[in-house]
Structure 1
Amino acid sequence: MKNPSLQKKLDRLLAGGRPRVLDLFAGCGGISLGFEAAGFEIHGAVEFDPDAARSHGLNFHGNDPAHCSAIDITQTSPAALCARLGLGRVEDAFDVVVGGPPCQAFARVGRSKLREIEEHPEAFIHDPRAQLYKKYLEYVDAFQPLAVMMENVPDILNHGGQNIAEETCEVLAAKGYVCGYTLLNAAFYGVPQMRERMFLLAYRREITDHVTFPDPTHWLVLPPGYEGSRAVALKTLNNLFGEAHCYIEPPPASRDLPPAVTAEDALGDLAPIYARDLLARGELKKGARRFDTPVKYSRKKPSVFATQMRTWPGHEAPGDGVRDHVIRYLPRDYELFSRLNAGDQYPQAYAHAVAMFQERLKAERTQGNKISEGSVRYKALWDSIVPPYDATKFPNKWRKMWRDQPARTLMAHLGKDGYSHIHYDSQQARTISVREAARLQSFPDGFQFSGTMNPAFKQIGNAVPPLLARALGNAMLATLRSGIAASKAKQKEAKPRLAAAV
């Protein structure tokens, strides 16, 4: 092997060392948690959001201040990062780089522009949209990892009229990597959530000559919206860009596999929160909520998934109960939530609300209260019951979960309202708690989130589900070990030939 840095890393792994990971755009650590569980060492991370950075440092580095501070990748060189974290020589610091630049960085940056960024380090000054991508490549260049994993939304296959995943593979191939990308849905990997994302894997050619993705562990029939989105993405892939050389079909799921983990499997053992009762007793109030109050589990027997979340090695649930099982203050809507049927979205919610208003208006008039249409009292009553959004413009703003299906995709928008995930239990009549959102993403109960409720929801919605990350980590570790074994065999073969030559 001509590259001494790569050989040094291979030798370290041959000696039994764990692959050391750098997590870029790490968030609170969904990828890190999965890779840690797969057998990797989380050696460092770069995250710009202060709350997410504190969460990452808290969970993976014992609250070490050096690892808990926000880092701006556009202002921090690889050398500065190594100095800050005390990691020594840049080229020796990491074996694997994971993460993915935010998709905005790729907007309308064409194939020629990507190459320009590579060849001219200052080119990004003329196109700020490319800055994060340029920094990602700069880190890969500097750290010379044995493997790379990138994640992004499916639209990256047609972002601004380009297949960014294919273009990224071209750039990495020029650096000496074998690359492949695909679309994976988290529900096929034991996550109680139907979340579709693009994943790109790359390995040094010294390690392997092909890329494989993990086989599914669970089975379900995806709703039309998910299959339709995937079909559109792949049709675009073929029609708009011609042959996608690095695209790999997702491994198929078999009907013989266990059924997908449902929302009830994920949440059923957590203590119920009856929002209307809390509101009536004055125990639910407006304002920021923190997570230091332990809440004991319900007496319901935990599912296999729930047991996994309680007992995740290194992130086990506290003995006195879970933290952050707190909900939003939404007094206008609790009664409305109780009336929704599973799967109802905003148009159905609006219709229920109008019916509730008519009931209340009739009751008021029956009691002798004269409330004329268009009056101040009429409007006040309407506003106290009916949400203000146009039912024809916000069809997906609300959704009540099905108890017997995985949840729909959690988004960072959870940090603003949470109406996209209304609890399936009509008696509880509320949106999901922070801990329930974490469960739906497959974060274990011992994982801690920094900040108050809104930042925690945002961190969870932005994360890669740890169980899916673990599946990818397992696949990557198997490939690395196979490459290491092949390297070891070649070394053994070389010794007799060398001795014979002497």
Structure 2
Amino acid sequence: MNKKNNYTYIDLFAGAGGLTIGFGNKGFHLELANDIAEPALDTLKYNLKNTHPETNQERVILGDIKELYEHLGTGNVDYEMQGHMVVETNKEIELRKRTPSVRNNETVKNTLLEISHVDVLVGGPPCQGFSMIGRSKKANLEERTKGFIDDPRNQLFKYYLKFAEKLSPKLVLIENVKGLASASGYRDLIENSLKITGELGYDTSSKILNAKDFGLAQNRERIFFIGLRKDLAEKFNLTAEEIFETIIANKKQPPKLKDVIFDLPQIKANPKPNNYKEESEYSFSNPDCFGKNISDLSYKTLISKGKNYNNYKKLINTYKGKQLEPKHLYNHKSRYHNERDRFIYKHLVPGKYLNDPVNEKALSKVTYGIVKDENGNKKVSGFEDKYFKLDPESVSKTIIAHLETDGNSYVHPGEFPRSITPREAARIQSFPDWYFFTGNTRNQLKQIGNAVPPVLGSVFAEAFKEALDRINENEK
């Protein structure tokens, strides 16, 4: 598959496929994708017919990377500890128990043996707790940082790098939460580990980038690591830092949130708790509609009513130079909210925190985390955005996996205040409208929150493609 301009890549910790869309959009061929979360990987696999029709579905592998890497024959993974070992939680243990073992799976083994080399390795090894690193008062920052580094879940990037060691890709991309940048030891640990990966090693660089700087209506900061194989860096006078410079040169102004989600049907909140079965849904022609997982009316009918097809929707729905349009509107279905929450939602002022005086009426119904200030006024302690209405004239706050649990801090600013739907979250994350999320509504939101925005993935893919073209041209 390594013809000119037809580069190959592997996506580990692939989730629902944000990076998969981004790299596929720029013509990269997917050799292998892996994750331990079955619903997310089901979504990636379901959409493979659009994103990578030439990739065999057996190459989308559900399994623990700790078992997957054993088929590579690259030796043991050495953890780097600082004396504060943290044991895995029951939630993590249960997740691994539910996931089918690939340790003795001959199909998986043979699939890996078939791959002798890839041009690019991408992925986001999960790092537990770094988004919360500064919030605990139980220990000083240095002690907390050591504990997070020692958490076995935070050593998963070592397994990721085993694939780089075995396959010697020209380029490596790692995405992670911004919080680990505060843990300087962990940022250095990843960079230094990548530098000495394989016989040749990698020239590395890392930067924190914000999605809103690349044409997305979302304030989403994440840290990215780039590795360029050292022999190529030296031979072609190219560095990982230069690749970042190419990426940063592609910065664009963000759209307003209203231009991203307001053309979607203004549906109402789900009227009943746990009311997610298809037979409970109303038609989109019904004024009481709270959405449907797959619309009964056509996408064109629902989206085009009095709305211009703006540049943002052209951007997210264009794939390999062609605009794709689904037959139906997918995953636009709201959740149930109790009467108290609906009152709070209604009286929230977009873009203003709960303790702002303009939100006094909304705050009056908040029942937890309440304190009185020195003047006897009611305030919330802790997170002021535990209830928050998004500002249609600005960008959204970061779409996170916690949306699975509740949407109180992601209230739609439209006609019917409610938490945003999976499709609205997907729009903010820059997923195409033709990308269908499998699983229930809650899990769809988790998948979307965990993903790398596809448009940002495309920015990296374009920069990587330029670097690979430069290498290929000079190798002739």
* TM class, shorter-length: 0.7 to 0.9
Whole-angstrom distance in 2 between the partners of 1:92 and 1:72: 21
The residue identity in structure 1 corresponding to 2:257 is A
Tell me the residue number matched to 1:335.
Answer: 343
**C-alpha deviations, 1:41-68, integer Å up to 9, x for none?**
1221111111011111112266966355
Aligned-pair identity (%): 27
Tell me the residue number matched to 2:152.
Answer: 128
Query: Contact 1:153–1:197 (CA<8 Å) still a contact in 2?
Result: yes
Whole-angstrom distance in 2 between the partners of 1:345 and 1:196: 20
**C-alpha deviations, 1:438-491, integer Å up to 9, x for none?**
000000001111101011000000111111110011001101111111111xxx
The residue identity in structure 1 corresponding to 2:294 is D
The residue identity in structure 2 corresponding to 1:414 is L
Whole-angstrom distance in 2 between the partners of 1:288 and 1:483: 52
2:210 to 185, 206, 209: 185
Whole-angstrom distance in 2 between the partners of 1:49 and 1:177: 30
Choose between structure 1 and 2: higher strand proportion.
Answer: 2
- 1:419 Cα deviation from its structure 2 partner: 1.8
**Counterpart mapping for 1:343-382 below 5 A:** 343-347=351-355, 351-353=360-362, 355=364
Gaps of 5+ in 2: 73-101, 134-141, 279-292, 371-379
For normalisation by structure 1, the TM-score amounts to 0.70
In the alignment, is residue 155 of structure 1 matched against residue 179 of structure 2?
yes
**C-alpha deviations, 1:175-234, integer Å up to 9, x for none?**
3211111111111111111111111111112333312345699xxxxxxxxxxxxxxxxx
**Counterpart mapping for 1:295-334 below 5 A:** 296-297=302-303, 298-312=305-319, 316-319=324-327, 321-332=328-339, 333-334=341-342
Tell me the residue number matched to 1:443.
Answer: 431
**C-alpha deviations, 1:221-249, integer Å up to 9, x for none?**
xxxxxxxxxxxxxxxxxxxxxxxxxxxxx
- 1:350 Cα deviation from its structure 2 partner: 7.0
Choose between structure 1 and 2: higher helix proportion.
Answer: 1
Gaps of 5+ in 1: 1-11, 114-123, 218-249, 356-384, 489-502
Tell me the residue number matched to 1:274.
Answer: 268
Query: Contact 2:211–2:218 (CA<8 Å) still a contact in 1?
Result: yes
Query: Contact 1:27–1:47 (CA<8 Å) still a contact in 2?
Result: yes
CA 1:97–1:419: 2 relative to 1, 3 Å: same
Of residues 23-32 and 60-69 in structure 1, the stretch that sits farther from structure 2 once superposed is 60-69
CA 1:201–1:340: 2 relative to 1, 3 Å: same
Say how many residue pairs are matched.
390
2:294 to 288, 292, 295: 292
Task: Give the greater-gyration-radius structure (CA).
Answer: 1
Whole-angstrom distance in 2 between the partners of 1:413 and 1:395: 16
2:68 to 76, 92, 100: 76
Whole-angstrom distance in 1 between the partners of 2:143 and 2:161: 14
Query: Contact 1:21–1:98 (CA<8 Å) still a contact in 2?
Result: yes
**Counterpart mapping for 1:217-232 below 5 A:** none
Tell me the residue number matched to 1:410.
Answer: 399
Query: Contact 2:294–2:330 (CA<8 Å) still a contact in 1?
Result: yes
CA 1:346–1:206: 2 relative to 1, 3 Å: same
Whole-angstrom distance in 2 between the partners of 1:272 and 1:252: 33
Q: CA RMSD in A?
A: 3.3
Whole-angstrom distance in 1 between the partners of 2:65 and 2:349: 45
Whole-angstrom distance in 2 between the partners of 1:100 and 1:33: 14
Whole-angstrom distance in 2 between the partners of 1:17 and 1:39: 7
Tell me the residue number matched to 2:221.
Answer: 196
- 1:40 Cα deviation from its structure 2 partner: 0.9
Query: Contact 1:187–1:406 (CA<8 Å) still a contact in 2?
Result: yes
